[in-house]
Amino acid sequence: MDIPAHHEPSPGKPLPAPSPVPEPGRPNPPRPLPAATAPNDSIVGFLLLGLFLSLPGVLIAWITGHDGHGWEHGGRVAAWIGALLSPFVWLAIIIVFTVLFTGSVTMLGCLMPGADCLAQ
């Protein structure tokens, strides 16, 4: 049996994959999950590099992301935003740890013999 000419695929275009046929008694076959897009994942990494390492983090982000792993897809902006927010983050970290250290030293002072912390 010959296939008519109008049913032959055109050269250069692959045939579309046939849709899977469900087996009797089973629901439709599961579809593969879409892969996570690299630019969105790498933008978070570039933001964190800029946030915690500031300008050296931007340099590291440029070196590691320059080969197409997201630097062109917003990674540059994310690294610079992280670098601009970096002083505020480090200031907050220093304040929190200073308060925690001061509070713990004060509480340890109350445990010393002869200390009368409850009299105040």
Q: Are 49 and 18 in contact (CB under 8 A)?
A: no
d(CA 79, CA 66): 13
- Domain-wise residue ranges, the chain: 53-63+76-109
The structure's pTM equals 0.54
User: Residue 33 region, left (φ>0) first, then alpha (ψ -120 to 50), else beta?
Assistant: beta
pLDDT confidence of 106, banded at 50, 70, 90?
Answer: confident
Bigger pLDDT: 37 or 56? Answer: 56
Summarize pLDDT for 53-104 with one digit per residue, the tens: 999 999 988 888 776 666 777 788 899 999 999 999 999 999 999 999 998 8
pLDDT confidence of 30, banded at 50, 70, 90?
Answer: low
Residue ranges with strand state E in 1-120: none
d(CA 74, CA 7): 45
Average pLDDT, the chain: 77
> Residue 26 has what pLDDT?
66
> Residue 94 has what pLDDT?
97
Helices 38-65 and 76-109, packing angle to 10 deg? 90
